[in-house]
Structure 1
Amino acid sequence: METEDYHIVYLTPDLKRSTFEGKEMRKEVVFEHHMLIWLISGQSKITLADAVHEFKGGDIFLIPRNKLAAITTSSVQGEPYRAVAMYFTPERLKAFYKKHKPYRAPSPLDKVRVFTRHPLLESCMVSLVPYFDLTEKLPEDIAALKIEEAINILRTIDPELDGMLSSFERPGKINLGDFMGKHFMFNMSLEKFGYLTGRSLSTFNRDFRKIFNTTPQRWLTDQRLELAHFQLAEKKRKPVDVYIEAGFENLSHFSYAFKKRFGYAPSEV
């Protein structure tokens, strides 16, 4: 996604620089690959189902794959949001572990890790910056070397990460009720919800009906409206500040669904 204020430059499909010059932007994503991020300037808030992480310029952090998240980026005192990100795709990681034996047994760790001001990792990320000014394409062998360097540094800093990076399992079948109860406010497709719970779309729909005795669409709308009503009534927040966090794409759809459910507009709560 690019807008007038938000720009992305790709060196390769797994190396990118992001710049946002507006006041604030929020988007919901699924981190399909492990992602190492160096936040050069600005601020970033990453909201997961079980935690909220806030980062500022200079922070370096690693987000595990298959995580649903809402990301809020913002400028700070005239300084735009700028970040360099490195994706660790299965192809890159499998190539690495063909040459290097893991320190630990594969383990799907799922916590965000922070490595701010670590000299090895910081120098690795800083070294990428000049490449974004190239007029020609970055040679693939150089990109591979930089990603391999980052993996080597991470597994040296924290051997537990080696177990995570060397794990290539797809999400296993997990408790659907628990997962949906924690993630209903993320505006994702049913296919994505199914994948993250270890199910095909048809199995997801079937299991969902067994547990909740209704369709996923109807249940998601009800849960999101209840959350929005709570935020409006108990937290005294405004509709414009609530609808996105509750999982609605736009204010008009939220207002229509809210009034249909409760009999009055969000502004009347």
Structure 2
Amino acid sequence: MERTSEIIFDKLVYSCAFETYRGHEEFIPDHFLGFQLSGETHAFHDKGKTIIRENTVVLVRKNQLIRTIKYPSKNEKYQFVSITLDQETLREYAAENKMTVSEKFPDKEKLFFEPDEFFKGYFVSLLPYINKTKTATSRLAVLKMKEAIELILQNNPEFKNLLFDFSEPHKIDLKEFMNKNFMFNVPVETFARLTGRSLSGFKRDFSKSFNNTPKQWLKEKRLEEAYYQIRHKNKKPSDIYLELGFENLSHFYYSFKQKFGLTTSEV
């Protein structure tokens, strides 16, 4: 399967795939602005599923877990280009333009933009760097990031409350978060950060909430969900083991039999 994901300059990333490709879990540490040049991206996150269709501009917010499936179109390969809006550049922009946060940005606010002539023009201006006909200096890279910020704010000034909120993730309800995100196969350190805790604080609070270690609880929770999907939704193990955070099918079969005393076919 041929695919590429290439960093063109500092914060500009170009992804390409010629066949359907299932991505791994990703922790998104910074906001990024993306454009679906061709094909579709199906993104799975704690609030469900989002489909990013061809010719769509999307702002992906920082500090979240996401898993993607990349689908080429019938006549064109999969292509997605994104530019990261890192904290340093956002802080610099906020200082230069005296931008302040007036209120908390709504968690369910729509993050898609109509691909108007300004957004289209912006991403067209990035194509020479993707096609390697031009090379960007570090100064130009920063200018392109700031241009992206300008376009977002021009589309909706209230996005300042999202972009310039530099507060660290606050301590959130551990049980609610873990029950929504247990299927993401990421390090415990990532779960700790996203719940606003140090690693030691996360393990301590986890033990109090679940009376178990994170590793053991995650394994049991994923197996229980697998049992439910196989027994009650007639799902095939090969279709769900990756989605539930298992790294390979043989380990899933072994763990399932060990926990339930039955094979998946016997269930």
Q: TM-score, normalised by structure 1?
A: 0.93
Shift of 1:109: 4.8
Question: For residue 63 of structure 2, what is the aligned residue in structure 1?
Answer: 66
Amino acid in structure 2 at the alignment position of 1:32: P
Superposed counterparts of 1:170-189, under 5 Å: 170-189=168-187
Alignment match of 2:231 (pick from 207, 230, 233): 233
Q: In 2 relative to 1, CA 47–152 (structure 1 residues): closer, same or farther, beyond 3 Å? A: same
The number of equivalent residue pairs is 266
Query: 8 Å contact 2:40–2:72 — kept in the other structure?
Result: yes
Distance across 2 between alignment mates of 1:34 and 1:158: 16
Alignment match of 2:28 (pick from 6, 26, 31): 31
- Hey, which bits of structure 1, 4+ residues long, moved more than 3 A? 106-112
Shift of 1:137: 3.8
Question: For residue 43 of structure 1, what is the aligned residue in structure 2?
Answer: 40
Question: For residue 188 of structure 2, what is the aligned residue in structure 1?
Answer: 190
Shift of 1:95: 1.2
Amino acid in structure 2 at the alignment position of 1:96: Y
Distance across 2 between alignment mates of 1:106 and 1:165: 12
Q: In 2 relative to 1, CA 193–114 (structure 1 residues): closer, same or farther, beyond 3 Å? A: same
Superposed counterparts of 1:112-191, under 5 Å: 113-134=111-132, 137-191=135-189
Alignment match of 1:80 (pick from 77, 81, 95): 77
Give the secondary structure class of the aligned counterpart of 2:265. Answer: helix
Q: TM-score, normalised by structure 2?
A: 0.94
Query: 8 Å contact 2:100–2:164 — kept in the other structure?
Result: no
Query: 8 Å contact 2:32–2:85 — kept in the other structure?
Result: yes
Q: In 2 relative to 1, CA 109–10 (structure 1 residues): closer, same or farther, beyond 3 Å? A: farther
Question: Could you list the per-position Cα deviations for residues 86-105 of structure 1 after superposition, in whole angstroms to 9, with x for gaps in the alignment?
Answer: 10000111111111122642
1:102 aligns with 2:99: yes
Shift of 1:227: 0.9
Shift of 1:10: 1.6
Distance across 1 between alignment mates of 2:266 and 2:76: 38
Question: For residue 12 of structure 1, what is the aligned residue in structure 2?
Answer: 9
Shift of 1:179: 0.7
Amino acid in structure 2 at the alignment position of 1:124: Y
Query: 8 Å contact 2:4–2:17 — kept in the other structure?
Result: yes
CA RMSD of aligned residues (A): 1.7
Amino acid in structure 1 at the alignment position of 2:188: L
Amino acid in structure 2 at the alignment position of 1:77: K
Alignment match of 2:250 (pick from 252, 265, 268): 252
Shift of 1:76: 2.1
Question: For residue 91 of structure 1, what is the aligned residue in structure 2?
Answer: 88
Query: 8 Å contact 2:172–2:195 — kept in the other structure?
Result: yes
Question: For residue 207 of structure 1, what is the aligned residue in structure 2?
Answer: 205
Alignment match of 1:219 (pick from 217, 220, 227): 217
Give the secondary structure class of the aligned counterpart of 1:52. Answer: strand
Amino acid in structure 2 at the alignment position of 1:238: K
Distance across 2 between alignment mates of 1:191 and 1:9: 26
Shift of 1:262: 1.0
Query: 8 Å contact 1:28–1:69 — kept in the other structure?
Result: yes
